[in-house]
Amino acid sequence: MYDVVIIGSGASGGAVAYTLCKAGYKVAVLEKGRLMRREAFSKDELAYCRRDLVTPNLFDEYHTIEEKVEGKWVATPTHESGWSFWNGNIVGGSSNLMSGMFHRLHPDDFRLKSKYGAIKGANIEDWPISYDDLEPYYTLAEELVGISGHHIPHRYEPKRSTPNFSQPPTKENAVVKLLDKSCENLGFTPLVTPRAVLSKDSNGRKACYYSNLCGSYGCSSGAKGSARESLINPALATGNLTLLTNSHVKRLQSDSQDKVHAALVVDTITGKERYIKGKIFVVAAQSHESARLLLNSSNQYHPKGLGNSSGELGKNLIFSGGGAGQGELQKENLKQIKFEDLMTTGLFVNRSILDWYFIDHWWDGKFKGGSVEFMFEHQNLISRARKDNEVKGKLVWGKALGERVEKRFQEQKSIRFEIFNDWLPNDDCFVSLDPTHKDKYGMPVGKLRVEGHPQDIKVGKYIAKKCEKILVEMGAKEVYSSISSSPSTNLVAGGCRFGNNPKHSVLNKYCQSHDVKNLFVADASFMPTGGSVAYTWTIYANAFRVADHIIEQLNITKI
């Protein structure tokens, strides 16, 4: 029997495993995927972005997605739509594949309901913890994961307990000179983006080698702050971690009202099943899959799902609101910087804007805004070559196509912005069990209803107009933006929200089940609201906090 059994090896599972192993406890991590070592990662666009190299085949494992069609909810399996909600089923999870743009939540993100009041149609609740509770763990994650950057004081940058990052920013493309000057002309404040990518060698990990292909790809130098590199590997070095790969958890077994005693695990290669026993169980499988696992673990003591006496399990799923925009910096009219410098590959843009994180102007009103990240368009060659190959609805072929592709690659470069704003939790965004569809292991698949709130679109469009002005000021051509109500499948949270009232939440403030005392959920499931930044730094930080509480429980009680 293990002291702690963790389901999932991503950002949250890795942080819990690291902390417990360093404290001397015997831990098992159950990971559905395989272990890919650093040297195995490549920049193969076909493998990572076109085929299922690190995610399940959608005909074997899938979800059904509910969308409203002509006023009715219609569920479509993702093997029909091709819309995958899997994000890196390998050791380290999707943290292997992230772009690594890290921001802390603002203190007011923890109390949106208190600050702005209720919004019709949205289920907003304050968090049961504050920024001050999480700040030491943000700092811990910054050091252990390895976050490079440069702190610039700003009214929406939360306070820090350390003056600056321990690693300087990664190298920047010359375009930042043009971007910074354009923002200055418009009265906006560009900030240096904190990034979970090492700019200097550290603890056996090599610095970034500027491959030009970061997001969507694993890192073969160890620079990217994945859970595998920064946490799982050091945990293994303690001798206290048992890493069980190709181990898919079908359900958690409980033989009493308030205790889990085993995980039913199927070997994804042989199909053989076995039970893994532990004193404490930590679910860290990504929000929609964590909720699905608990719903699939119903029994006579928990008929609505394990730890679901409140009926809230799976509800209030959230994603990230916003969208993106783009413009073309062209050779013939580029200003202030040399075109050759712009075309230097691999260097980051590394600029964020938080000026519209909260809107409180008498002329615009008062509402929660969002953040913006600037970057070059994704450098995947196949997808770039396929762009703009239609004229009046007809495909361009032959010489004409070659000329268009040549111009795209040699005479212009796309500058892009991505907007992150709150996806407001609502009654029509949740995960449940599909009553008819099952995966290859015979378990009901997750059915995701993914309706957004109208406020999300309003905020995204407001910010997009500001960002388009920046691109125009930079001299970009063909500027456009697109704000969508479709969910961002790589940013999923909620479904097991935490709170002080067991009647209205699934977890307590330590992410421990209100109903089942030896069950914790450590991934982004706990979040009542998501803030207006990517979740990963907060997932890391909160998981370290949860791990400290688990150690306290192991020390003072017999669970």
Give residue for tokens 């370290």: 544
The whole-number pLDDT of residue 409 equals 87
Q: Which helix (H) or strand (E) holds 478?
A: strand 477-483
- CA separation for the pair 276, 279 (Å, rounded): 11
Label the pairing between strands 370-376 and 412-422: antiparallel
The whole-number pLDDT of residue 396 equals 86
Homologous superfamily, domain 1-38+45-98+103-146+226-319+489-559: FAD/NAD(P)-binding domain (3.50.50.60)
SS3 of residue 27 by DSSP: strand
The whole-number pLDDT of residue 386 equals 81
Q: Note the pLDDT tens digit of each residue in 62-112.
A: 999 999 888 899 999 999 999 999 999 999 999 999 999 999 999 999 999
CA dihedral 272, 275, 280, 281 (to 10 degrees): 30
Residue 559, pLDDT > 60, answer: no
Q: Which helix (H) or strand (E) holds 404?
A: helix 398-410
SS3 of residue 292 by DSSP: helix
Q: What values do phi and psi take at 510, rounded to 5?
A: -100, 15
DSSP assignments along 432-451, one per residue: EEEEEEE-TTSPEEEEEEE-
Q: Note the pLDDT tens digit of each residue in 114-137.
A: 999 999 999 999 999 999 999 999
Q: What values do phi and psi take at 53, rounded to 5?
A: -65, -40
Give residue for tokens 């181990």: 247
Q: 111 with 514: CB under 8 angstroms?
A: no
Q: 526 with 507: CB under 8 angstroms?
A: yes
Nearest alpha carbon to residue 13 among 97, 95, 81: 95
* Interval 440-469 mean pLDDT: 97
Nearest alpha carbon to residue 16 among 462, 497, 392, 543: 543
SS3 of residue 222 by DSSP: coil
- Which residues are within 8 A (CB) of 248 and not within 5 positions of it... i.e. 6 or more apart? 32, 265, 266, 268, 441
The whole-number pLDDT of residue 387 equals 79
Residue 293, pLDDT > 60, answer: yes
| In the chain, where the domains are located | 1-38+45-98+103-146+226-319+489-559, 168-218+320-422+453-486
* Interval 290-299 mean pLDDT: 98
Q: Report the DSSP beta bridge partners of residue 251.
A: 264
Q: Note the pLDDT tens digit of each residue in 382-397.
A: 888 887 778 777 888 8
Q: Report the DSSP beta bridge partners of residue 259.
A: 256
Q: Note the pLDDT tens digit of each residue in 20-62.
A: 999 999 999 999 999 999 999 999 989 998 888 999 999 999 9
Task: Tell me the pLDDT of the chain averaged across its residues.
Answer: 95
The whole-number pLDDT of residue 557 equals 63
Residue 558, pLDDT > 70, answer: no
- CA separation for the pair 434, 358 (Å, rounded): 38
Q: 9 with 243: CB under 8 angstroms?
A: yes
* Residue 322 pLDDT grade (very low, low, confident, very high; cuts 50, 70, 90): very high
How large is the C-alpha radius of gyration of the chain? 23
The whole-number pLDDT of residue 452 equals 95
